[in-house]
Structure 1
Amino acid sequence: MTTKEGRFECFSETDRLLIRPLNKNDYQNWLNEYENRLPSQHRHDEGKLDMSICTMEWFHNLVDKHQELGVSDSAHIFGVFRKNDGTHIGMIDFSTLARDDFHWGRIGYTIHNQYWRLGYGREAVNAALSIAFQQLNFHRIEAHINLDNTPSVKLAESVGMEFECVRKGFIYENDEWTDHLVYYKNAN
């Protein structure tokens, strides 16, 4: 959904969370939570990251790029914020795979590891799926998950996504074509 000014403005909220596009005022909060990440907890957790290139100017350009992607319907990228204190706890994105007769997208989700095991992932992904189906008009959303990423599988299943198949040699990562589990959910 875009405003008259051409800005991408979809959002959702739960009892504890607000899911919305990043804005330029989020910089310090966003940076603090990336810098406060714990060391990697498993192979698919990036853990602490080098944030030295992430200046305020870099972040403002990132917010502008997210807006452009949303307006063009290429990707829709959301920050996940705790409502009681505004803390940035993660990101969720939807990539448009096809429109026309499909209205098909892919979801990606990351909750900062210092906020794991508090139910935020399930709550945020449920709210984001509402955005996908009700505001972005997707019919089908898929999650493409590494075969050994058990936490991501559990999260997908907890929000009602169903296992469809293993796609062989599906995504090029770490210098090789890797197999992925495909989980999906269709709009009701």
Structure 2
Amino acid sequence: MKLTEEKFEVVSETERLVIRPLQKADYENWLNEFENRYPSQHRHDQGKIDMSACTQEWFHNLVDKHQELALTDTAHVFGVFRKEDGTHLGMVDFSTLIRDDFQWGRIGYTIHNQFWRKGYGKEAVKEALTIAFNHLKFHRIEAHINLDNAASIHLAESIGMEYECTRKGLIFEFGEWTDNLIYYKNSNE
């Protein structure tokens, strides 16, 4: 991990993936894979989205915002790239919930739906947890998952996250306060 006052950079690799913060040079690759998404496969998949507002200038501002969030330890956002050809596959992010005596964060993840069922999500999230524990120094990471998101539940369980509880009305989405399943992993497990 390299951390300076101006730039946060963590690069981690698996057999097939590179996980790192987005860079301004990623714009074409990033945009192309968003534009190549399939239509939505279920309610937790955005599918094709209108990318017309996502200009190169907009993207450069996004990269700068991600850097700002990382430098303030508010959130750490990573692109997931296929090692063999650099294709942007999706994103993994961590939000800092509290530091102090807790060192507690939340993970979010998404793989573009045209790359589903190839094991990229499992590989990316498993490696991202290594980043969270070894580089970002979190002790506890939670995944907050909708009750009916079977794919996300399966992914969390497949990488060793454990179900802890259901938090009632945790997040406002789909026009209502929604319950979420809480899966967690601690650094010493």
Quick check: 1:19–1:79 contact (8 Å CA) kept in 2?
yes
The Cα of 1:2 is off from its aligned counterpart by: 4.5
The Cα of 1:10 is off from its aligned counterpart by: 1.3
The Cα of 1:172 is off from its aligned counterpart by: 1.1
Q: Residue 169 and residue 102 in structure 1: after superposition, are their counterparts in 2 closer, same or farther (change >3 A)? A: same
The Cα of 1:4 is off from its aligned counterpart by: 3.3
SS at match of 2:180: strand
Verify: 1:164 aligned to 2:164, yes or no. Answer: yes
The Cα of 1:43 is off from its aligned counterpart by: 1.0
Distance 1:10 1:72 in 2: 15
Q: Which runs of 5+ in 2 are unaligned?
A: none
Cross-structure match for 2:9: 9
Matches within 5 A, 1:1-188: 1-188=1-188
Instruction: Specify the code of the residue in structure 1 equivalent to 2:52.
Output: S
SS at match of 2:8: coil
Distance 2:176 2:41 in 1: 23
Distance 1:178 1:5 in 2: 38
Q: Which runs of 5+ in 1 are unaligned?
A: none
The Cα of 1:5 is off from its aligned counterpart by: 4.8
Quick check: 1:2–1:71 contact (8 Å CA) kept in 2?
no
Residue identity (%):
73
Distance 2:11 2:179 in 1: 32
Instruction: Specify the code of the residue in structure 2 equivalent to 1:48.
Output: K
For residues 69-99 of structure 1, the C-alpha deviation after alignment (integer angstroms, 9 at most, x for no partner) is 0000000000000000000000000000000
Quick check: 2:5–2:71 contact (8 Å CA) kept in 1?
no
With the length of structure 1 as denominator, give the TM-score of the two structures. 0.98
Distance 1:146 1:4 in 2: 36
Distance 1:182 1:173 in 2: 16
For residues 19-70 of structure 1, the C-alpha deviation after alignment (integer angstroms, 9 at most, x for no partner) is 0000000000000000000011111000001000000000000000000000
With the length of structure 2 as denominator, give the TM-score of the two structures. 0.98
For residues 112-137 of structure 1, the C-alpha deviation after alignment (integer angstroms, 9 at most, x for no partner) is 00000000000000110000000000
Instruction: Specify the code of the residue in structure 1 equivalent to 2:114.
Output: Q
Alignment root-mean-square deviation, CA = 0.9
SS at match of 1:77: strand
The Cα of 1:173 is off from its aligned counterpart by: 1.1
Quick check: 1:145–1:182 contact (8 Å CA) kept in 2?
yes
Distance 1:166 1:61 in 2: 36
The Cα of 1:174 is off from its aligned counterpart by: 2.3
